[in-house]
Structure 1
Amino acid sequence: MSSTKPLPAALKRWAEQRIGPVVSVRDASHSWDRSRVWDLEGGSGVHRYLKVSPSVKFFTRESRAYRHIVPALGHTRAPHLIDSRAQDLVLLLTAVPGAPVKELGLDTAQWRTVHQQAGALCARLHEAGELDRGDRVKAEASLSAAADGAEKYLARAGDRLDHDEQQLVRDHAARLRRVGPVPVGYIHGNNQPRNWLWSTSGLALVDFERSRPAARVQDFVILATTQWADHPDREKAFLRSYGWELSDAERHALRCLSALDAVNCLAWGPDNGDAEVTARGRRTLDRLMKEDRP
């Protein structure tokens, strides 16, 4: 477990210039070493969040998302950007009500309700404005770009995959290049219950550092390999409110992307001590290997 990360004094002063005095600070970072997020409580009891992005790429993606994409979700459905400072990769955000869905011990019906609302929010996000020319080019190339990452992940994973498993990943990367056109838009990029907050007000999405123009189906990979694998009722609820039945091409792309996600998990998870991510990768790979055998 990572140690508590203190908020740098300079960043606290910067935040107070924008929101007034801060009376308490709580480290709200994930266990990942590069995660740096603090809950700031003001004198009136109002909470805001200060986040230092782990990289320029993530800061650029997230600050852009909050300015141009996230408002389409609605006032209580995502944080809003108060201010940002590029030189420090820092974002100052409003808080939204709720707790991460994965921590709530929901029953079967509640899980379906959550997925129903998540599908509606994803639809709003994916349709948040027309892609400009540059974004459309990136989005339409996103599946090929994902396939390009296969060899990098395989090299990092090393002997965590045997020869047949490595070949399966390569085969799915090759198939992904041949999928053809699929719907594109702005995606969340890390769409999963860890980033869904549930309250009496409904569902909210957080953490947009991986938001980008891409094939929309890329936003369903983690759900397909975790939530939906054992609970098809959740997938049905999500897609019904999403308002779009996945095409054959999207289903094929989702399977290929799941193989790439598996090797990525097996490359990243053990190196970062993340047992949950590692288990996701191993489980997905085992399932695909079983399904691919005659």
Structure 2
Amino acid sequence: MSTATEALLAVAQDTLGPVTVERAPDLPAHLTLLADAAGDRYLLKRHTDPERFHAEIHAYTAWRPQLGARAPHLVAFDEGSCSLLVTYVPGRRADRLRPGSTAEERAHRGAGETLRLLHAVPLEQPAVDVAAFLAGRMLHWAVRAHAAALIDQAELRTLHRHAEELAATPMDGVICHLDYQPRNWIVQPDGGIAVIDFEHTRPDALVRDLARLAFRRWPHRPRLREEFLTGYGRDLSDEEERLLSRFAAVEALTSMVRGDERGDPRLFAYGKALLAAIL
């Protein structure tokens, strides 16, 4: 066992007492599955980015309680190692359900129900200027894409105009998960959907939580959109539909830059095709 792992286990033991590491080959390296003396299981998550660590701690303490049993509970955290200890949510990741299955449709409906609870959390004061923030994010990704020679000067100018239009678009802010997709949904034994991974959570435009689903999952599976919005409790308004379409540029740019940086040709090609469709 590495020294780093031993130090992290000490964080858990300070709260839980003696713990054992359970074998979990499907978990990424930054997650460790633990069990206490009573057999209850927990996840120890280590961050490398202090900003994301603090964002996740804030999400767990300020907004997660609204979700009840539909999310893990924060048990403890350690500033020095940027690690947090949360309860383990049993179940199956929704991205491993068979595409086209009834189970996949049920998962989308349950995910809509869970997101409705999160979006109902009252916003903190002062109010966030969501439009200005999102316009800034669009420009951030556009500049990065241009610097990496992924877009040309004419495309950059067009994206500047898109950002100006976005900044002038009225929109309401809600608490958003911001990585709301099946890989972060857990199908629980009772069929309900729990959500994990709150490191990106912050106030944002409501439809931002639908963007990855809208552009990656729903175009060829409209039934999934229907099930999700049934669980969410309402359809999108015309204004929300138009705003969602504006986020295509942010989704495209993010996917292109990330795909290029990570050497992921599929993600890059997806982003490039999406950008070409809107410019």
TM-score (norm 1): 0.84
1:264 deviation in Å? Answer: 1.4
1:83-102 to structure 2, matched below 5 A, reads 83-102=76-95
2:182 pairs with one of 177, 193, 201 = 193
Residue of structure 2 equivalent to 1:51: 45
2:45·2:85 contact (CA, 8 Å) conserved in 1? yes
Change (3 A) 1:39 1:7: farther
1:1-294 to structure 2, matched below 5 A, reads 8-26=5-23, 36-75=30-69, 77-128=70-121, 130-134=122-126, 136-139=127-130, 141-156=132-147, 158-162=148-152, 165-166=155-156, 168-180=158-170, 182-201=171-190, 202-289=192-279
1:5·1:27 contact (CA, 8 Å) conserved in 2? no
Q: Deviations over 1:248-267 (max 9, x none)?
A: 33222212211122111111
1:262·1:284 contact (CA, 8 Å) conserved in 2? yes
Q: Percent identity?
A: 29
1:155 deviation in Å? Answer: 2.9
Change (3 A) 1:101 1:5: farther
2:11·2:78 contact (CA, 8 Å) conserved in 1? no
Instruction: State how far apart, in whole Å, the 1-side matches of 2:34 and 2:165 are.
Output: 47
1:143 deviation in Å? Answer: 2.6
Instruction: State how far apart, in whole Å, the 1-side matches of 2:228 and 2:47 are.
Output: 30
Instruction: State how far apart, in whole Å, the 2-side matches of 1:252 and 1:153 are.
Output: 25
1:23·1:42 contact (CA, 8 Å) conserved in 2? yes
Instruction: State how far apart, in whole Å, the 2-side matches of 1:29 and 1:170 are.
Output: 41
Instruction: State how far apart, in whole Å, the 1-side matches of 2:87 and 2:174 are.
Output: 25
1:153 deviation in Å? Answer: 3.0
1:127 deviation in Å? Answer: 0.9
* Aligned-pair Cα RMSD in Å: 2.6
Contiguous gaps of at least 5 residues in structure 2:
none
Instruction: State how far apart, in whole Å, the 2-side matches of 1:144 and 1:95 are.
Output: 37
Choose 50-59 or 99-108, whichever is displaced more: 99-108
SS at match of 1:204: strand
Change (3 A) 1:30 1:73: same
1:153·1:264 contact (CA, 8 Å) conserved in 2? no
2:131·2:168 contact (CA, 8 Å) conserved in 1? no
Change (3 A) 1:237 1:81: same
Change (3 A) 1:272 1:239: same
Change (3 A) 1:170 1:6: farther
Instruction: State how far apart, in whole Å, the 1-side matches of 2:25 and 2:197 are.
Output: 12
2:131·2:169 contact (CA, 8 Å) conserved in 1? no
